[in-house]
Amino acid sequence: MPNSPEHLEQPEHLEHPERPRRVTIDRDGPLLVEGPVEVVGDDGTVSVSSRFTVAICTCRRSRTYPWCDTSHRRRVKQHEDKPVPPETDDQNPEASS
């Protein structure tokens, strides 16, 4: 019966509630999630990590997606001008000895 005492007991995982998982958002980087975690992709694949903190890719450039591999560090922000190539001695006559 739904109202019997055995049905009023909470499942074991609810008897000792943990504090909420913390997710840290980095505007130019990954989501940092306190682990362990299971990440379910849009195609239904499940990725599991038991690390104490995991970095979830948000730029979708990671070769290890859904985990961040710092590929976001190599991208140029859309609102910035094109990167200036480093100067060489041929381009900067003052740099010669």
Q: What are the tens digits of pLDDT across the range 14-28?
A: 555 678 889 999 888
3-state secondary structure 25-61: ECCCCCEEEECCEEEECCCCCEEEECCCEEEECCCCC
Decide: 61 and 73 in contact? Cβ < 8 Å: no
pLDDT at 89 over 50: yes
Residues 6+ apart with CB under 8 A from 33: 21, 22, 23, 24, 53, 54, 55, 56
Nearest one of 62, 53, 63 to 29, comparing CA atoms:
62
Nearest one of 64, 67, 46 to 55, comparing CA atoms:
67
Q: State the average pLDDT over residues 34-63.
A: 94
Residue 26 CA to its chain's centroid (Å) = 9
Q: What are the tens digits of pLDDT across the range 61-84?
A: 999 999 999 988 886 656 555 555
> Residue 72: helix, strand or coil by DSSP?
helix
pLDDT of residue 74: 82
